[in-house]
Amino acid sequence: MRAIEELAVRYQEKALALPLWFEAGSLKLLDQTKLPFKEEINTMENVEQLGDAIRSMMIRGSGAIGICGVYGMFLAAYQSNGNPEAVREAGVLLKSTRPTAVNLMKTVDEMAAAVKGTGSELVDVLEAKAVAIIDRQLDFEYKLGEHGASLIEDGDTIMTHCHSGALGGAGYGGRALSVIRRAHEQGKNIHVYTCETRPYLQGARITAYELKKFGIPHTLITDNMSGFCMNTGRINKIVVGSDRVSANGDLANKVGTYMHALAAKEHGIPFYTATSSHTIDFDTPSGDAIEVEMRNSDEVVQIQGVRIAPEGTDALYPSFDITPSRLISGIITEKGVITVPFEQNLNRLNEKVNI
């Protein structure tokens, strides 16, 4: 058995929720668009199929998309018998799928930088690199969960937006749910409010699905209920994930995050983002420079194939929005919780770790 297949076995033995894994010469991927009612496993025979899966939201979440970059580059090497050009072409394809997700860009670049030799030598080199990166991602999830859980008090009610959980990462808790899961494991009596997250309903379909699996009490709300819940004292803290954090601490996350942060500021509620140092983009000075992915507006006028608006209705779908750092109480990373001044403290983090 190859080392990359042993990795999957090792993770499954830990009862982790794997978004994708390598098995018998191909990638296996849990179709997240079918959750929570069907756990369908699809086989990705090549990088083109993996790219389609990323674009179609079959797999999503910043950590999981980053892992797609790792597996995709290895798959290209494996299937081409170690052709460097095939690996480079795979990298170009993968980086084109989700422009806002910096994790994908970084893992593809990291795999590309490891390219050495040809044939079986290249396959072996990229396999070892892939296993190391995925293990690192899982370690990040455990560590940021520990740091973030220190911010959670017994009795807290925590709101989260979209899905930033195990299936959006390496299998433990991704970003926000690493914090929530660890606090629950510590025996803290917590309750989670999860926003449904239109138009794909990731909060309703996937976050609630994972919270139920973890045994964490939770309440589902529509996205436009968050202000009411804060104003009526139902929310103590907010923890969201991240798709990119700029050098000054501005946050790119699922669209709707910004309005939750504004409401939190108005009500004096701490607002945190959970991320890994790998998701901090030190080459992007502020959120103004982050490209926001614009998705097909047809996704707004229907829910899972059922039309909800009249034919001819125009719609808009920015997949992400930018939350300015002035609205953020702290950035939870595997190295600790970063607080203001963000630009200065993030720069110190950059100097201490190899991103």
pLDDT digits (tens, 9 = 90+) for 295-344: 999 999 998 889 999 999 999 999 999 999 999 999 999 999 999 999 99
pLDDT of 355 reads: 33
Fold adopted by 145-352: Rossmann fold (3.40.50)
* Whole-angstrom distance, CA of residue 164 vs CA of residue 172: 11
List, in order, residues 6 or more apart from 79 with CB less than 8 Å away.
25, 46, 86
Q: Where are the beta strands (DSSP E) in 161-250?
A: 191-195, 218-221, 237-240, 244-246
pLDDT of 57 reads: 93
Helix-, strand-, coil-residue percentages of the chain, each rounded to 5 = 45, 15, 35
Longest dimension (CA), the chain: 63
The CATH code belonging to domain 3-141 is 1.20.120.420
pLDDT of 354 reads: 43
* Whole-angstrom distance, CA of residue 197 vs CA of residue 254: 8
pLDDT of 352 reads: 65
Residue of 156, 243, 250, 321 with catalytic role: 243
Show the low-confidence residues of the chain (pLDDT under 50). 354-355
pLDDT of 290 reads: 95
281 in active site: no
Domain limits of the chain?
3-141, 145-352
pLDDT of 349 reads: 84
* Whole-angstrom distance, CA of residue 324 vs CA of residue 193: 23
Find tokens 């939201």 and name the residue: 57
pLDDT of 151 reads: 98
| Residues 189 and 155: beta-carbon distance below 8 Å | yes
pLDDT of 100 reads: 86
